[in-house]
Amino acid sequence: MIPSTYPPKADIARLSARMLLEIGAVDFNSKKPFILASGLLSPTYVDCRKLISFPRIRSTLMDFMTITVMRDAGFEAFDNIAGGETAGIPFGALVAERLALPMTYVRKKPKGYGRNARIEGVMHEGQRVLLVEDLTTDGGSKLSFVDAIRDTGASCADTAVIFYYDIFPETEKTLGDHGVKLHYLCTWWDVLEQAKEQGSFDKATLSEVEKFLKDPRAWQDARK
Q: What is the pLDDT of residues 167-195, one digit of tens each?
A: 988 999 999 999 999 999 999 999 999 99
Q: Hey, what amino acid is at 192?
A: L
Q: Are 102 and 79 in contact (CB under 8 A)?
A: yes
Let me know if residue 1 belongs to a domain.
no
Q: Hey, what amino acid is at 188?
A: W
Identify the domain containing residue 15 by its residue range: 9-221
CATH number at residue 213: 3.40.50.2020
Number of structural domains (the chain) is 1
Residue ranges of the chain whose pLDDT lies below 50: none
Let me know if residue 204 belongs to a domain.
yes
Smallest Cα–Cα separation from 73: which of 170, 191, 180, 177? 180
pLDDT given for residue 114 in this prediction: 61
pLDDT given for residue 112 in this prediction: 67
Distance CA 123, CA 185 (A): 26
pLDDT given for residue 76 in this prediction: 96
pLDDT given for residue 39 in this prediction: 76
Q: Give the distance between the most distant pair of CA atoms in the chain.
A: 54
Q: Are 16 and 64 in contact (CB under 8 A)?
A: yes
pTM, entire model: 0.94
Let me know if residue 152 belongs to a domain.
yes
Let me know if residue 4 belongs to a domain.
no
pLDDT given for residue 69 in this prediction: 96
